[in-house]
Amino acid sequence: MIKHNHTECRSAMMPVRDALDVISGKWKLQIIISIQSGNKRFREIERSIPKITSKVLAKELKDLEEHQLIKRTVYDESPVLVEYTPMPYAETLQDVIIALQKWGLNHRKKILGK
């Protein structure tokens, strides 16, 4: 083999796979960003994310809760009050989010600049 290394390639690819298994899809990172920005209530989060629907949001919130990225708290007032808050683990995604933000900004500039 000249220069490319099969093993090295695998060990670069696998962790990306593992990460994408958790945070892939159109909505998960957007929801985390919304909650990290201070949105707590279901409708509040829903309104903060263009085009998302109740059904999709409900499902994705469950996924994120299962992965311990957010916490769902029910305050038993009447009517019931529900709050979604970020777990500390969600902060570990900052580098990913920032890298994607930077790349997205740059990409938009590139596209519009043509």
What does the binding site for DNA look like in residue numbers (CB under 7 A)?
A: 25-27, 41-44, 51-56, 58, 60-61, 72, 78-82, 84
Residue 34: count other Cβ atoms within 10 Å of its Cβ: 22
66 binds, among a second copy, DNA, none (CB under 5 to 8 A by kind): none
Using rule CB under 8 A, residue 82 touches a second copy: no
47 or 78: CB nearest a second copy: 47
Residue 93 within binding range of a second copy, rule CB under 8 A: yes
Name the binder of 39 from a second copy, DNA, none, CB < 5-8 A by kind: a second copy
CB of 103 to a second copy, least distance (A): 5
Determine the Cα–Cα distance for residues 24 and 31; give it in Å rounded to an integer: 12
Q: Residue 97 CB, nearest distance to a second copy (Å)?
A: 7
DSSP 16: H
**Measured from the CB of residue 9, what is the shortest distance to a second copy in angstroms?**
4
- One-letter amino acid at 49 equals I
Interface with a second copy includes 61 (CB under 8 A)?
no
Q: Could you tell me how many residues make up the chain? A: 114
DSSP conformation class of 83: E
Question: Do residues 99 and 23 make contact, with C-beta atoms less than 8 angstroms apart?
Answer: no
For residues 89 and 82, what is the distance between their CA atoms, to the nearest angstrom? Answer: 20
